[in-house]
Amino acid sequence: MSAEKQYAVELKGLSFQRGDRSIFDNVDIRIQRGKVTGIMGPSGCGKTTLLRLIAAQLRPSQGEVWVNGQNLPTLSRSELFDMRKQMGVLFQSGALFTDLDVFENVAFPLRVHTKLPEEMVRDIVLMKLQAVGLRGAWELMPDELSGGMKRRVALARAIALDPQILMYDEPFVGQDPIAMGVLVRLIRLLNDALGITSIVVSHDLAETASIADYIYVVGDTQILGEGTPDELMNSDSPRVRQFMQGTPDGPVPFHFPAVDYRDDLLGAR
């Protein structure tokens, strides 16, 4: 199997800087086609940045981002917009268009990219909404939905064009246990039923580990570890273990770097 067939997304030697701060330094990530891949790491380590790099909303300072055999940083703006039809992203906030109702939100990508007749748009929208269990809510406006429902509608919108790659940005944050369970099931279900490649960026350990086939742990501009959830749980690396087991102090220190405590209290300024 060639690399392009096996991997939907390949990051090679990727570096990214924001201002003077280095977010990623020479990172390699390969995401297998048709699998659920988790990208985990502590808050603020640049997980969302990584998604935006894959979606080419950000340009890497260095390195290559291969998606379906195309190196994104070399594409023109209009080629990128075409490329993005193959990708769906579920943003943290859902990002529904607040001036459109649920039906129009899901229909939006179809109306933009296809010239399907109205009846067919209707059928597709209802099918996508049925898949996320919200067909009955098609008339509601986004502000009438609960947080979990918003995310499900956004998911229906993300799969409206049947993308090959679906990315989830922190899908579990701020969800109650029921909504969380629904989302976990949906992500797995959509992945297997539609044969898409899913990338889940999250710091929710249990949920991500329960659906991911493969996990990358990022932190400190590097890939700290990778493997199946079981492999990572028993990792040799103390940093990966600290993250996977959630201990407060360890290689990732509890204290923000500071001058010596005693000097700070007693010493002259």
Partner 1 sequence: MRKTSTLERIRLFGRAGIDVVATLGRSSVFLLHALLGRGGAGKPLQLLIKQLYAVGVMSLAIIVVSGIFIGMVLSLQGFNILSDYGSEQAVGQMVALTLLRELGPVVTALLFAGRAGSALTAEIGNMKSTEQLSSLEMIGVDPLKYIVAPRFWAGFISMPLLAMIFSVVGIWGGAMVAVDWLGVYEGSFWANMQNSVAFREDVLNGVIKSVVFGFVVTWIAVFQGYDCEPTSEGISRATTKTVVYASLAVLGLDFILTALMFGDF
Q: Is residue 18 a contact residue for partner 1 (CB under 8 A)?
A: no
3-state percent breakdown (helix, strand, coil) of the chain, nearest 5: 40, 25, 35
Instruction: State yes or no: residue 147 binds partner 1 (CB under 8 A).
Output: no
Binding positions for partner 1, 148-187, rule CB under 8 A: 154, 157
Q: Are 37 and 198 in contact (CB under 8 A)?
A: yes
The window from 6-14, 52-60, 65-73, 210-218 that contacts partner 1 (CB under 8 A) reads 52-60
DSSP state of 165: E
Stretches 50-58, 183-191, 224-232, 257-265: which one binds partner 1 (CB under 8 A)? 50-58
Q: Give 44: exposed, middle or buried? Use CB within 10 Å, 0-12, 13-18, 19+.
A: exposed
Please say which residue, 56 or 223, places its beta carbon nearer to partner 1: 56
Instruction: Report the residue from 87, 121, 180, 184 that binds partner 1 according to the rule CB under 8 A.
Output: 87
Contact window for partner 1 (CB under 8 A) among 49-57, 115-123, 182-190, 244-252: 49-57
- Residue 113 CB, nearest approach to partner 1 (Å): 6
85 versus 122: smaller Cβ distance to partner 1: 85
Candidate ranges 86-94, 181-189, 206-214, 240-248; the one touching partner 1 (CB under 8 A): 86-94
Length of the chain: 269
Spatial distance between the Cα atoms of 237 and 176, rounded to a whole number of angstroms:
32
Cβ-contact 112, 121 below 8 angstroms? no
Q: Which of residues 60-79 bind partner 1 (CB under 8 A)?
A: 78
Coil/strand/helix, residue 138:
coil
**Sheet strand arrangement including 70-71:** 21-32, 7-18, 62-67, 70-71
- Classify residue 261 as exposed, middle or buried by CB count within 10 Å of its CB (0-12, 13-18, 19+): exposed
Task: Give whichever of 88 and 229 is closer to partner 1, judged by the CB atom.
Answer: 88
In the stretch 91-110, what mask flags binding to partner 1 with x, by CB under 8 A?
A: xxxxxxxx---------xx-
Q: Give the DSSP H/E element, type plus range, for residue 75.
A: none
Point out which residues bind partner 1 (CB under 8 A): 52, 55, 57, 78, 81-82, 84-85, 87-89, 91-98, 108-109, 111-113, 154, 157
